[in-house]
Every structure is written in structure tokens, then in C-alpha cells.
Structure 1
Amino acid sequence: NDRLLGLARQQSRDISSGLEQHNVRILIGSGRLVDTHTIEVITADGTETVEADTILLAVGAHPRELPTARPDGERILNWAQIYDLDELPEELIVVGSGVTGAEFASAYNGLGSKVTLISSRDRVLPGSDTNAAEVLEEVFERRGVRVLSRARAETVERTDDGVVVTLGDGSKVTGSHCLVCVGSIPNTAGIGLEEAGVALTESGHIKVDGVSRTTAPNIYAAGDCTGVLALASVAAMQGRIAIAHFLGDSVTPIKLHQVASNIFTSPEIASVGVSEDEIHSGKYQGDVIKLSLKSNARAKMRNHKDGFVKIFARKGSGTVIGGVVVGPNASELIFAISIAVKQKLHVDDVASTFTVYPSLSGSISEAARRLHVHM
């Protein structure tokens, strides 16, 4: 954790330095909106009032907690506190099988912890590609991660030497530590949003339109506090769109089906565009090709046996409308499919583009090539 926190601090310093080079003044403190053009900032030196023509809110979110599983920062942890641990948990119980829970389960399993993942659903990553989730579950089983499906954690309590999690059926799971990953809550309370005329959704997120503008015309919002998509890339794009719109530049609202995302498990799971479930439901008419990495020469050289490339093409036209990559560096490989989705490329455009041999990206062009026969 020391290395990880050090990297985070270095990244923060690099961003701060870049802002200062562009004459951006940074105030360290807590802010509150007084009205649509005024912010009250409490700093270590006192209170300062800042006037602004426009305001961009990027206040983030904090971990959601269960009333029967209150974190103590030592044995019962949320996804922010776990970075403060001084030693590796011997037996880690992870409550929640969404993206955050799966990522931490995979990471601590890789570090050597004995991991139990408690999932209230039929499988891990219930909102993700089914084939991708199946691959991850197979890897978990092979690497010794214990997955308890359709099991709901009712309480988490601390014991003399660890924790005990009581499930809905009355059974108990014991471990040295418990990590609770059950979502997040936007940091929108107590910062003067109502006074400034900024409306919230029922979940407490800031309401924004396609250009990240709130219900107050000169106030914009970006990131997890908007509830659009909890991704750093989306937050950054929201911020760019907001500032460009304020400055009068032409902007294009974010199209969520063009957003690439990645789940940082081992193997990684990356996706973009429409999902296979949406095709099967009839929402989109498309053809699907799934190509295992087992047939990829570079994957064989690197002894990577888990994963696949999947591409979705619109039926009739052959336009690439989505894709999934599961495997090493999937977060990098998905970029090629993202470009195809954004630029509405035909599968033949992807298939006829040269790739290095041997390379993992070769499976992307091969999958596109196989879709040609479906035209």
C-alpha cells in the first residue's frame, strides 16, 4: 500500500504542478456555495470568499455503508480505508460482487490473501458481459477464491482476532478482515446546492444535461457526483465539455454507448458500445463473433489461456457497434474497438487494417474478418 499511496500522491503533485504552470490558483480547504456566483472556502488560514462567472462542481462520492456493518478502519473496512492497512490480510472477506468488489478480490488473491467473495446475485459482475463474468469465475475458482453466490451479508461483526459475517440463511463466515463494497454516495450534502438552485436526483446526485450543466445555468458538474458513469474518463470528458460549452465552443454531448470501460481484475475485462444482452433482447439487431485467446500466437507465447475478443456488428450494414475484450491489457486493446464504434467503421475496415504478428491485437482484426461472412 505504501507504493500505491506514493504513486497516488505523485500523480496528485503532477496534476497540481500542471495546473499551476497554467496560472491556476489552488485553494486547499472545504467549499460551500453561497449563491450562483459565490463560494465560501474554509482553509487552514481562515475563510475566503471566491467570486466566479461559472462554477464546475467535481465533489466525488464516498463509500456507502451498511448499518449492520459499520467500518472501524481496522478489521471492517470500506474501499477507501483498505489502502491504509499496514499488513496483508490473511483471510479477506469481500462483501459485494460488483466491479469494486471483484477488483479487490482479484487483487488480494494475487497478493496472497485467502479471499471469500460474498455475492447476493447468481454470479459475480452481474451488470457485465456474461461470458466475461464466467471467465473470471473460472479463474477465481482455479486460484482459490471462494465465491458464495446468492448469499446476502446481514451483519459484519468484529471478533477478538478477526471478523464474522452472518449471512441471510444464518450461516457464518469468518476471516481476519472484511471489505464492504456496496456502492457509493455522492458528496452533495451540506455544500449549498439548494441555495444556488442546483437540483438533485432522488439518489442525491446532481442533475446535469448533455453538456454537464446543472439546473443553475452557470454551474456545471462532473464526475461521480453526477451519477452518469462512475469512471475517471467520463468525469474528465464531462469537465472538458462543461468548460468548452461555457467558453462558447461547439460541443457534442457524451454518448454513453461510446464510452469504453475496464474492470481491473486478472484477467482484465474491457467493453465498449452495445452489449450482447441488448442484442439478444432485440434492442439492437446485430451479429456476434467471439474469438478465444487460446488460438492467439502471442497469448500462447505469454502463457495466457484465459480470455477472448468479442465484436458486435450491426446486422445488414456491418458497422461495428460494440465489443468486449477479456485478457491481459484489455484496457489497452479495447481502444481499437472504441475507435471503430466512435467512427462507425465497417468490420472490413477493421479486418483490413494491418496488425503486428504475433500480437494480441491480431485477434481483433481476426474477429472482424470472421464477421464478414455474416453480411
Structure 2
Amino acid sequence: MNRIVIIGGGPGGYEAALVAAQLHARVTVVDSDGIGGSAVLTDCVPSKTLIATAEVLTDMASAEALGVTLADAEGDAASWVTIDLARVNARVKRLAADQSADISARLEREGVRVVQGHGRLDGVGKVVVTLADGSKERLDADAILVATGAAPRVVPEAQPDGERILTWEQVYDLDELPEHLIVVGSGVTGAEFASAYVALGIDVTLVSSRERVLPGEDADAATVLEQVLTRRGMKLLSQSRMQSVTRDGDVVTVTLVDGRSVTGSHCVLALGSIPNTAGLGLEEAGIRLDAQGFLKVDRVSRTSVTGVYAAGDCTGVLMLASVAAMQGRIAMWHYMGDAVSPIDLKKVSSNVFTSPEIATVGWSQRAIDAGEIAAETVMLPLATNARAKMQGISDGFVKLFCRPGTGSVVGGVVVAPRASELIHVVSLAVAESLTADQLAHAFTVYPSLSGSIAEAARRLHQV
């Protein structure tokens, strides 16, 4: 029986464990932070739970336009619409813990052994685990998967204290709403927290070193989000690089490299991630890392050493829980000799959980504009969609890309409430190389937001 040892219990690790167990391997997961990893315990599940609360308030803010008055007898809405952040964060932590427990129970049912401790490679084919009591356990392995994830990047000039200067993992310990929250970093994490806290009624300033919010995302989508957030009251400091973050009592000061400064009550640092690869014995085992410390892997999750695979954020491939999980599954399918297809990043759908959400899949507008692929583009604003009008949705759009000649759908962008759900049909089209005509001929419900996807596809019809 094949012996599989997996270091790390996040999506890359536990999904790999389930596949290996299904294929009748003897599987051990070495976990130090809790099954589910940061995705479940400190990142995806907690942040999206917080965002779910923010979405309720976003919907309430648009109720007046739909003929619903949310106010007391004196017409004062603020007197009864309140946010208990302590309760919100308690729910966040409870749901994260429950999800972790559910995954742990599934692993146990499938016969996967979980060892709590810190794993380290001892050459090739052996893992040494340091247990909580300081003792060590030695595990022999026919194959090893490293899935140790990544951690928030911090810099000496902006040290988090867990109270007022926070990483995104520390915000769930807040019991009271910040008076003025400064978010440093305008990537996905920074934008999501800025959007959520604006919806909670907090004064938010977003410090961006780039020209716009979400510099790595579709430019049209980022423009819509920036317009919405600033309209809702967020202050954006673009092209403003942070030099330092300091605290004096209850006041946090973010100093910029140009000499300006902004003060607030709290600061969330969203400065990217660093891989958890130090102290694992990787380099001693001959495993190649890149300059940032990420494990170098191929499209079936192999490292540079035979029998050692890697999955998830520690590889730096795409820092998405879905990608981590797929990398882990592919690794086990490959090692166990099952049917496997190398990961294709052009078929990965992703979502930014702002309000509105931004979902993408396949080739990007940037790649098309750069001439990397020839594609025709159609973009339809949601403001013309009947269902959007009924729901009071005026911001957002659907954008589709297809190849000239063949008409194959090669990518798309959806900016809308619940775009994470709407993108799936486009993802299927990209994954299965459907043509715009095939996408257009599938029935959609009327009225529905998904009708705009079909309409965009109809407009891409090639005579």
C-alpha cells in the first residue's frame, strides 16, 4: 500500500488526502494550524462570512429606491439599524471552526490519519514531525505533498500589534467598529475589506500605490468598483506608497513616501503574502525554490525532486483555494497512476468578493489588448437588464471574449451582485471550448441576470 504524507491541512492538503484515500493509499496529514488551513480559519471563510453581513447592509441601503422605507416613526434609520461587531466576529469564528470540524470529520471517516505537529522533510521519503510535547515522530513516505500555504506579508516599517495595526487575519478580534479604518493595499484583499467595512458604515481610506484599485484585475471592472466605493463614501489615495505605519495610543498614522500622512483609529495591512516554506528541510532535500521562497512546480504539481509534490499558496501559482485544491488532487491522481489532466490556468475562474463582485475566467482583456490572443469582445451594461432594473442594480456589466473564425468562448468578466455564481456558465463554456452560438442557444430564464450572458453571446454571432 502506498504511503502518502501530506504536510499542511489546508485545501491543497485535505483535498489531496481525500483523493489518495479514495485510491486506497495510507494517508497521513501533518497539520500545525488546524484542518482547513488559513482558507478556512483565517482567510476565505472568515472574510466571506464578514462580507455576507456587509451584503445585507448594502441591500438595505438600496431599499429606498425599491419603495421600502427603513426608518422608525421619526424617520431615523440610524437609531435602529446597528452593527454589533463583536457578534459579527463571533459568528465569523464559529462558522470557521465548524467548517474545520466538518472537514476533520470527513478525513476521519475516510481513514486519513491526522497528526498535530510541525512536519519537516528529512531527506527524501521521510518526514519528521515535532509534536506539541516536543517529542518527535518519524514518518516514512512513498510520496510527500507539501501544502503549507502562505502568511500575510509584513514589513519592518509597519508592524502589526493585533489591536489597531492589523493583518487581515487579526481583524476578527475587533469588538467595536473602528471610527476610521485605513486599508493599505488595493489588491484583492485590500479591496474586499475596504468594500465590506464601507458597507458596515465605517469611514474607510484606501491607500493604493497604484493608479487604481485592483491593478491586476480587468480595468473596466476595477473602474466600476472604484466608482461605487467612492460614491459610498470611501476615500481613495491612489499612487500613494506607504512608508510607515505607527501608533500613538488610539491614533494610527500612515505616512506616505511623498511626506503626506493620514490618521485613523485602525489600519489593516494588505501587503500580499509570503510562502510558509522556511524550516521545512526543502532545500536540504534538493527541492528548488524561487527567489521569493515559493516551491517551483510543474503542471501536475511535481517539485524538482521525484516523489515530492506541492500544492497551494506555497507554490505561488495562483493564490486561490480552488487552485490549491485542484493542485492537491492532481498531485495524487498523478502519483497514484489515475487519469489526470495537467492544470490549465486559463480555465480557472476567480472572484473578488467586493460589492459588486468581480468574476473572471479565461483570457483577459489585457492579454487581448497586448496581442497575446486574437479575440472579439462584447460588453453589456447590467443597467439594460430587466432583472437588474427590478432589483435596483445600476452598476456592473457582462463581458465575453471569443475567437474570430471559430467563435470559441475564451474568457469573460462579470461585474454584478453574486457574480461568483453567474461566472460558472462562462467557465463551462471556456472549459469545454463552446462557441458563442452554443452559449447563446441555451435557454435562460426571463427575467434574469444570466440573460445578459446569453445576450452578449448572441452579439458575438459570426455570419
TM-score with structure 2 setting the length: 0.80
Give the equivalent residue in structure 2 for 1:54: 143
C-alpha distance after superposition, 1:306-354 (max 9, x if no partner): 1110000111211100000000110011010011001110100000000
Give the equivalent residue in structure 2 for 1:196: 285
Structure 1 residue ranges (4+ consecutive) displaced by more than 6 angstroms after TM superposition: none
Worse-superposed segment, 101-110 or 82-91: 82-91
Q: For 1:5, which of 93, 96, 119 is the aligned residue?
A: 93
C-alpha distance after superposition, 1:109-139 (max 9, x if no partner): 1112110000111100011101100100110
How far apart, CA to CA, are the structure 2 residues paired with 1:256 and 1:178? 34
C-alpha distance after superposition, 1:194-221 (max 9, x if no partner): 2222111111000111100111111110
How far apart, CA to CA, are the structure 2 residues paired with 1:277 and 1:254? 22
Give the equivalent residue in structure 2 for 1:142: 231
Deviation at 1:251, TM superposition (A): 1.4
Give the equivalent residue in structure 2 for 1:100: 189
Amino acid at match of 2:123: D
| 1:135-174 equivalence runs, <5 A | 135-174=224-263
Amino acid at match of 1:6: R
The yes-or-no answer on 1:315 pairing with 2:377 is no
Q: For 2:388, which of 299, 307, 313 is the aligned residue?
A: 299
Worse-superposed segment, 240-249 or 48-57: 48-57
C-alpha distance after superposition, 1:257-283 (max 9, x if no partner): 111000010100000011111111111
| 1:281-296 equivalence runs, <5 A | 281-296=370-385
Deviation at 1:190, TM superposition (A): 0.5
| 1:236-255 equivalence runs, <5 A | 236-255=325-344
Deviation at 1:86, TM superposition (A): 2.1
How far apart, CA to CA, are the structure 2 residues paired with 1:329 and 1:132? 14
How far apart, CA to CA, are the structure 1 residues paired with 2:197 and 2:251? 17
Give the equivalent residue in structure 2 for 1:66: 155
Q: For 2:306, which of 194, 197, 217 is the aligned residue?
A: 217
Q: Secondary structure at the match of 1:27?
A: strand
How far apart, CA to CA, are the structure 2 residues paired with 1:27 and 1:141? 48
Give the equivalent residue in structure 1 for 2:126: 38
Give the equivalent residue in structure 1 for 2:33: none
How far apart, CA to CA, are the structure 2 residues paired with 1:29 and 1:301? 54
Give the equivalent residue in structure 1 for 2:32: none
TM-score with structure 1 setting the length: 0.98
Amino acid at match of 1:127: G
The yes-or-no answer on 1:116 pairing with 2:205 is yes
How far apart, CA to CA, are the structure 1 residues paired with 2:365 and 2:99? 36
Q: For 1:85, which of 174, 178, 186 is the aligned residue?
A: 174
The yes-or-no answer on 1:259 pairing with 2:348 is yes
Deviation at 1:67, TM superposition (A): 1.4
How far apart, CA to CA, are the structure 1 residues paired with 2:180 and 2:140? 51
Structure 2 gaps, min length 5: 1-88
Give the equivalent residue in structure 2 for 1:131: 220
The yes-or-no answer on 1:24 pairing with 2:112 is yes
How far apart, CA to CA, are the structure 1 residues paired with 2:92 and 2:131? 27
% identical equivalent positions? 61
How far apart, CA to CA, are the structure 1 residues paired with 2:336 and 2:427? 28
How far apart, CA to CA, are the structure 2 residues paired with 1:129 and 1:162? 35
Worse-superposed segment, 214-223 or 79-88: 79-88
Q: Secondary structure at the match of 1:151?
A: coil
Q: For 1:206, which of 287, 295, 315 is the aligned residue?
A: 295
Q: Secondary structure at the match of 2:114?
A: coil
Q: Secondary structure at the match of 1:62?
A: strand
How far apart, CA to CA, are the structure 1 residues paired with 2:315 and 2:362? 21
How far apart, CA to CA, are the structure 1 residues paired with 2:302 and 2:93? 33
Structure 1 gaps, min length 5: none
How far apart, CA to CA, are the structure 2 residues paired with 1:171 and 1:194? 43
How far apart, CA to CA, are the structure 1 residues paired with 2:336 and 2:298? 17
The number of aligned residues is 374
